[in-house]
């Protein structure tokens, strides 16, 4: 993993793709849609995440949206 440092946020490259992350309360938080895009090569990672939340809710009864909110974050 290669890190690109930015004073306002931190971006990491994994398999040549950008994953946004930020440090919050001494923990790294990663952009879920960026991770999905990198691991699945999905064309539309937002749609993939949306459909995955529905599938998990129906199969396991877990609401991922209550655990992990999707926030808008600019790519620098």
pLDDT in tens, 7-41: 456 777 777 888 888 888 888 888 888 899 889 98
51 part of a folded domain: yes
73 part of a folded domain: no
CB 9 within 8 A of CB 74: no
6 part of a folded domain: yes
75 part of a folded domain: no
pLDDT of residue 70: 61
Provide the pLDDT confidence category of residue 74 given band limits of 50, 70 and 90. Answer: low
72 part of a folded domain: no
10 part of a folded domain: yes
Overall number of domains in the chain = 1
Residues 6+ apart with CB under 8 A from 4: 10, 11, 12, 13
Q: In terms of Cα–Cα distance, which of 13, 14, 12 is closest to 22? A: 12
Average pLDDT, the chain: 78
Q: With 0.85 as the threshold, say if the pTM is over it.
A: no
Range of the domain at 37: 2-67
């Amino acid at each position: 993993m290669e890190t690109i440092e930015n004073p306002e946020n931190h971006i990491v490259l994994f398999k040549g793709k950008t994953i946004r992350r930020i440090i919050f309360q001494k923990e790294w938080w990663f952009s879920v849609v960026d991770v999905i895009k990198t691991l699945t090569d999905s064309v539309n990672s937002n749609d993939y995440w949306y459909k995955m939340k529905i599938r998990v809710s129906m199969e396991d009864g877990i609401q991922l949206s209550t655990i992990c909110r999707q926030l808008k974050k600019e790519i620098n």
